[in-house]
Amino acid sequence: MTSAPDPSRPPTLVVGGGGLLGRHVRSAFERSGSPVHTPSVPWHDPVAARAALRSALVSVIDSSPDGRVDIAWCAGAGFVATPADELDTEVSLFRDVLTDLRAVLRPTTRLAFFFASSAGGVYAGSADPPFTERSEPRPLVAYGRAKLAMEEALTAFCAETGSVALIGRITNLYGPGQKLSKPQGLVSQLCLAQLRGTPLPVWVSFDTIRDYLYVGDCAEMVVDALDGLHEQVRSAGSNAVVKILATGTGVTLSAVIGETNRVFRRRARLRVPGAGSPGQVRDLRVRSVVWGELDRRTHTPFSVGVRRTADEIALAYAAGTSAPGHQHQSTHVSEVSIR
């Protein structure tokens, strides 16, 4: 339920408000009473996208009565297998938007910025799991390198402008709202395969470990983080704080499959071609050692989150809105389950 606007809360710009994380972040801010701006961005046209985002930045800054502004950047079309040239375009647009933001900031603006990065993307080649914020990032593919480049651009922006940012290295998100035409989201793709009765190819080992974070929990963490970010940076020694957003619990691929089997009361149909996939590693356990207060919450149990995801996909499938003829048939578990 959306709360009445709270004049004590800063206006918030949610970029990527139509995606899995963005939708939930937008709802979480609305429940908090924050005035929320969610621009419609033509991402297929970088020039038009930049113009739309610049207009949105001006609008949200103009709407702040006391200079406080929050931005939650939840956009990102890339995933592990996205070609480097497409990711280069995404990085370039992000840098351009930061340039525009620098130009429209006022002397009185107090900006708090959240950027959704990827724990799996940046730590895929790192040594000695569980990985923490102190682990050296070693991306294996262009997707992880692009996330690091955007993190670096935002860190430099904050150093130059005095703005503050939380770089959230997020583990595997799941939950209601996953776009089923994108080859990502293991839980959603398993649920869809169960409903359609079609096999899902598995290209990684069944003991592959990931940390699955329910998207609603992640959204609440984003709201709490932006609320407390100005205070946090005073003790962090940097205007850009890097934090892993995760449950801290590793779950194997076999356990994920077992949970969806339990929900649907039948075994999933799987194909095991027996080949690997670039950028995928067996163990991506993580443990956050930064800003521990954000982690002191009750996370949605995995079984509950899977059930909620399955219920939403079942309703969409029954209504004919799950687009069963799209990319899902050829989606590989190695691509959908790992960031």
Cα-based distances in Å from 55 to 60, 295, 320: 9, 35, 36
Q: How confident is the model at residue 328 (pLDDT cuts 50, 70, 90)?
A: very low
Instruction: Please tell me the distance from the alpha carbon of residue 28 to that of residue 225, in angstroms, as a whole number.
Output: 12
Q: What is the CA radius of gyration of the chain?
A: 20
List, for residues 24-80, the tens digit of each pLDDT value. 999 999 999 999 999 999 999 999 999 999 999 999 999 999 999 999 999 987 778
pLDDT at 151: 98
Handedness of CA 54, 59, 62, 65 (dihedral sign): negative
List, for residues 246-298, the tens digit of each pLDDT value. 999 999 999 999 999 999 999 999 988 655 565 578 999 999 999 999 999 99
| Residue 323 confidence (pLDDT) above 60 | no
What is the third-level CATH fold of 12-173+213-245?
A: Rossmann fold (3.40.50)
| Residue 339 confidence (pLDDT) above 50 | no
Every domain of the chain and the residues it spans: 12-173+213-245, 176-210+248-336
Strand partners, 168: 116, 243
Q: Do the first three CATH levels of 12-173+213-245 and 176-210+248-336 match, i.e. the same topology?
A: no
> CB of 52 within 8 A of CB of 111?
no
List, for residues 148-182, the tens digit of each pLDDT value. 999 999 999 999 999 999 999 999 999 999 887 76
- Amino acid identity, position 92: S
Q: How confident is the model at residue 235 (pLDDT cuts 50, 70, 90)?
A: confident
Q: Which CATH class is domain 176-210+248-336?
A: alpha beta
| Residue 191 confidence (pLDDT) above 70 | yes
Task: Provide the token pair at 106.
Answer: 């006022």
Rounded (10°) angle between helices 46-62 and 84-104: 30
pLDDT at 277: 61
List, for residues 99-140, the tens digit of each pLDDT value. 999 999 999 999 999 999 999 999 999 999 999 999 999 999
List, for residues 7-20, the tens digit of each pLDDT value. 789 999 999 999 99
pLDDT mean over 201-222: 95
In 3-state terms, what secondary structure has residue 141? Answer: coil
Instruction: Please tell me the distance from the alpha carbon of residue 239 to that of residue 161, in angstroms, as a whole number.
Output: 10
- Lookup result for tokens 């621009």: 39
More confident residue, 56 or 319: 56
